[in-house]
Structure 1
Amino acid sequence: MSCFRTGALRLSYIVAAFLILPLCSTPSLAAAKIQHLISPGGIEAWFVQDATVPLIAMEYAFGGGATQDPVGKAGVGNLVGDLLDEGSGDMDSKTFHERLDRRAIELSFTSTRDYLRGSLRMLKDNRDEAFGLLRTSLTSPHFDSADVERIRSQVMSGLRRDTTNPTSLASRKFLEVAFGAHPYGRQANGTLESVAKIEIADLKDYVRHVLAKDTLKIAVVGDVDPATLGQLLDKTFGGLPAHAELTPIPDIQAAQPPKREFIPLDVPQTVVTFGGPGVMRHDPNFMAAYVVNHILGGGGLSSRLYREVREKRGLAYSVYESLSWMEHSALFIGNTGTRADRAGETVEAINNEVRRMGEDGPTQKELDEAKSYLKGSQMLALDTSSKLASALLQYQLDRLPIDYIEKRNSIIDAVTLDDAKQAARRLWGQGLLTVVVGRPPQAVAQPAAATPAAAN
């Protein structure tokens, strides 16, 4: 799975739903006081105590992710994430999942580009069992051969489907074009060849090297007091190694545009993925880039790309573009789908609008409207305990201050029209990296072959 951190990137994220009881909270939850909690054993977490409903949501991450996959065995981290809840301690996979289901506990893991992330959600009364199950999954996972082969089969089935999925092919090729041989250039969930070669020893080595306290980040929101939470964190994470053994990953800038790649695939709709070098999260001009990106392609029905490509020309049902930032690089990346015989016109329309934004930047009216929307949407984006916990974890990974939520609107307000124009030139002044997947132009021009029934 191609997993980048992003404001609106829709290329392949798994969204988990807590089906037993919604993690609801009040609209003012984002304004609640965020505490920097340090457990008696030294485990740190950002914490919001909220007794609105008897629920606890925790998000956590270990540094490493898919960048730590061994050379030639892309997908190890992804398999580990899928297998950590498949039996641990004295429980086999069936027993482990029965205990989760019986107590309405949601536990999950995901390997992203730079992190092995996880979520834990539970009713307040089930917190001891929930944290205990997380502890055993981290410290004594089984990786039984039967479970490994079952999960491997599921992953490879998805990879086979990807070989005929134009969006997956476009995403894979785009990363190859952007990053080449760098770890970011390979698929986080691996390939059919690499996943087939992964051994149980690779999974155990990954856990031993990656799961450690020095890269651990935690965010907790819910109905638990600080003293109790500190004890739970120590019991859960205290037994992990003190230091990870990570392979250093170099910084890289995405390939400079313009570049264009075409992948022939006999499908009715052509997929276009486009993008280029982005802006790192710690860059002083990041917020200006974030605001102007909303104007170009991140604003849904109000974005320039939507108006030009969908509304004015009817070339596509949807088109979007967003910023994506990682530990060692950054991108802007977008996607659309169009009729095969209109692919060239669609790519030209996108290029023209991107070029116009790069040359002229936004208008003052566009900037004011974008700033107003981005400020007003924050409360809606953080209106549940799970959403807030996820955001607090991301802020830690992005090395933002603990009071960032309070400062965010003033940072947006400080973006001037000159800042936005400068960011637009930086992002879009060089053109695009473009990957097109679909029928070749000459094939589009050919009439469909007559079927026997039609010939009669």
Structure 2
Amino acid sequence: MIRFALSLILLLAALPARAEVEVKEFTTPGGLNAWLVEDHSIPFVALELRFRGGGSLDPDGKRGVTNLMAALLEEGAADLDAQEFARASESLAANFRYSVNDDRVSVSAQFLTENRDQAVDLLRKSLLQPRFDPDAIARVRGQVTSMISASQTNPRDLVGKAFDSLVFGDHPYGSSLDGTIESVAALTREDIVAAHTAALARDRLYISAVGDITETDLAKLLDHLLGALPETGATLPVTVDPNLPGGVQVIDFATPQSIVTFAQKGIDRDHPDFFAAYILNYILGGGGFESRLMTEVREKRGLTYGVYSYLADKDAAQLWMGSVASANDRVAEAITVIRAEWGRMRNEGVTLEELENAKTYLTGAYPLQFEGNGPIADIAVGMQMEGLPTDYISTRNDKVNAVTLEDVKRVARELMSPEALTFVVVGQPDGLESSIN
């Protein structure tokens, strides 16, 4: 019955959100900074925690340890083994999710108001007192190594790994945060405990909450939940200058369709020209079937089912990336067209009609992201990590609309670099050879 109640509340919480989202920023008595969107219409709270660093904190020779550690946080804690922890969360209708990417460890929690205290106590155990039992380590290690094995025959995984290795080299971004079969097999319980201390610390913590809770109650909750975390964690990775020499690297792999990842240097989220670049990318390859790349590569020439581009703003590097898949006998032409369109946009810019259509879509779609407590909490914690102000939600569309045609054309000339576009291809492409060692 409790689980059904949470499911119903989650459904209600996913209905179109309020037109205005008021974000409060405050500091708890224990010194934790948090953002809160208060909404008492549904007896439900979504809590998002982010710890900066993520898989990039893995020590030398211990690749995959942060990922393994995070996967074990729900596999037993304090006096509860893995099965007992799962039953406890089920009985409380509490949803906990733990994940890792290159730059952060993410913890998401959703719970009913009536079970808030018990749910928070259970979450606290997983964050502060994970058991890391030998049987749980063995089971999760097996799951991770199975995924790594499967990725070795997946062309999309292979192109991602080859691209990262080429572009980022010895930086943590240059290898998979899952680790290798060998590195994961060598990890000890002591390594996992050390990774827990390194990653989950107060000096890299960001917090947002949305739902049926007051500032006073949230402050008390957070100090109880997180106050005993270590004050500092491991040193965060340094920035990296991506290796993007231009040209093509081909990875031979028997498959009828080549998979391609491509990139040039990007732009930092803090840069004053970010919104102009954002709109520029939407017109180029971020706008689905309306984008220029889809028009030129798919619609006019039938070289692919899909091609896209996006701005990738990582903590330690910024890229302007894209992807395409094409038959081996046509992928060389697809790459030629992509590079040519990149150059045409740099030299000619965009039209006023393209700019206005992009603005209309981007400003109209933005409010639809705020569709419930969970998505709002996720967006709010992401805003914090980007250093954005609490009123960004209400001012973002103004920033999009303020971009002029001259801004977009200037940024295209300054930022776009078709000669630096670097393509990594996994497949057996006809007439395409590596020009990058």
So what's the TM-score if we normalise by structure 2?
0.93
**Aligned-residue offset at 1:97:** 0.7
Distance 2:333 2:418 in 1: 20
Equivalent in the alignment of 1:381:
369
Distance 2:180 2:37 in 1: 40
State yes or no: 1:80 paired with 2:81. Answer: no
Greater mean deviation of Cα atoms: 343-352 or 142-151: 343-352
String of CA shifts for 1:269-293, please: whole Å, max 9, x gaps.
2111111211111111111111111
Distance 1:357 1:300 in 2: 17
Indicate the SS of the match to 1:143.
Answer: coil
Aligned letter for 1:192?
Answer: I
Equivalent in the alignment of 2:16:
27
Equivalent in the alignment of 2:195:
206
Structure 1 counterpart of 2:107, from 93, 102, 118: 118
Distance 1:224 1:94 in 2: 30
Indicate the SS of the match to 1:362.
Answer: coil
Distance 1:376 1:250 in 2: 37
State yes or no: 1:312 paired with 2:336. Answer: no
Query: 5 Å matches for 1:416-435?
Result: 416-431=404-419, 432-435=421-424
Aligned letter for 1:321?
Answer: S
**Aligned-residue offset at 1:40:** 2.5
Aligned letter for 2:355?
Answer: L
Query: 5 Å matches for 1:246-395?
Result: 246-395=234-383
- Structure 1 vs Structure 2 CA RMSD: 1.8
Distance 1:172 1:252 in 2: 17
Equivalent in the alignment of 1:243:
232
Distance 1:32 1:313 in 2: 44
Given that residues 29 and 385 in structure 1 are in contact (C-alpha distance below 8 angstroms), is that contact kept between their aligned partners in structure 2? no
**Aligned-residue offset at 1:28:** 4.5
**Aligned-residue offset at 1:201:** 1.0
Distance 1:25 1:310 in 2: 35
CA spacing shift, 1:273–1:138, aligned 2, 3 Å:
same
Equivalent in the alignment of 1:63:
52
Indicate the SS of the match to 2:208.
Answer: strand
Given that residues 23 and 55 in structure 1 are in contact (C-alpha distance below 8 angstroms), is that contact kept between their aligned partners in structure 2? no
Given that residues 30 and 405 in structure 1 are in contact (C-alpha distance below 8 angstroms), is that contact kept between their aligned partners in structure 2? no
Distance 1:48 1:158 in 2: 38
CA spacing shift, 1:19–1:162, aligned 2, 3 Å:
farther
Residue ranges of structure 1 left out of the alignment (5+ in a row): 1-17, 444-456
CA spacing shift, 1:266–1:336, aligned 2, 3 Å:
same
Distance 1:32 1:66 in 2: 32
Distance 1:373 1:77 in 2: 38
Distance 1:200 1:224 in 2: 38
Distance 1:442 1:406 in 2: 51
Aligned letter for 1:390?
Answer: D
Distance 2:126 2:35 in 1: 22
Given that residues 26 and 34 in structure 2 are in contact (C-alpha distance below 8 angstroms), is that contact kept between their aligned partners in structure 1? yes
**Aligned-residue offset at 1:320:** 1.1
Structure 2 counterpart of 1:53, from 36, 42, 64: 42
Distance 1:173 1:425 in 2: 29
Given that residues 330 and 430 in structure 2 are in contact (C-alpha distance below 8 angstroms), is that contact kept between their aligned partners in structure 1? no
CA spacing shift, 1:102–1:72, aligned 2, 3 Å:
same
CA spacing shift, 1:54–1:248, aligned 2, 3 Å:
closer
**Aligned-residue offset at 1:358:** 2.1
Equivalent in the alignment of 1:14:
none
Given that residues 268 and 339 in structure 1 are in contact (C-alpha distance below 8 angstroms), is that contact kept between their aligned partners in structure 2? yes
Paired residues, number: 425
Distance 2:81 2:168 in 1: 40
Greater mean deviation of Cα atoms: 247-256 or 321-330: 247-256
CA spacing shift, 1:177–1:30, aligned 2, 3 Å:
farther
CA spacing shift, 1:23–1:80, aligned 2, 3 Å:
farther
**Aligned-residue offset at 1:176:** 1.3
CA spacing shift, 1:23–1:359, aligned 2, 3 Å:
farther
String of CA shifts for 1:205-235, please: whole Å, max 9, x gaps.
1111221112110010011122221111111
Given that residues 27 and 379 in structure 1 are in contact (C-alpha distance below 8 angstroms), is that contact kept between their aligned partners in structure 2? no
**Aligned-residue offset at 1:441:** 2.5
Given that residues 23 and 385 in structure 1 are in contact (C-alpha distance below 8 angstroms), is that contact kept between their aligned partners in structure 2? no
String of CA shifts for 1:291-319, please: whole Å, max 9, x gaps.
11111111111111111111111111111
Indicate the SS of the match to 2:18.
Answer: helix
Indicate the SS of the match to 2:49.
Answer: strand
Distance 2:389 2:341 in 1: 36
**Aligned-residue offset at 1:357:** 1.5
Distance 2:414 2:162 in 1: 24
**Aligned-residue offset at 1:339:** 1.5
Aligned letter for 1:122?
Answer: F
Equivalent in the alignment of 2:435:
none
Equivalent in the alignment of 1:7:
none
State yes or no: 1:146 paired with 2:154. Answer: no
**Aligned-residue offset at 1:30:** 5.8
Indicate the SS of the match to 2:261.
Answer: strand
So what's the TM-score if we normalise by structure 1?
0.89
Equivalent in the alignment of 2:3:
none
**Aligned-residue offset at 1:19:** 5.9
Distance 1:28 1:109 in 2: 25
Seq. identity, %: 39
Distance 2:124 2:265 in 1: 39
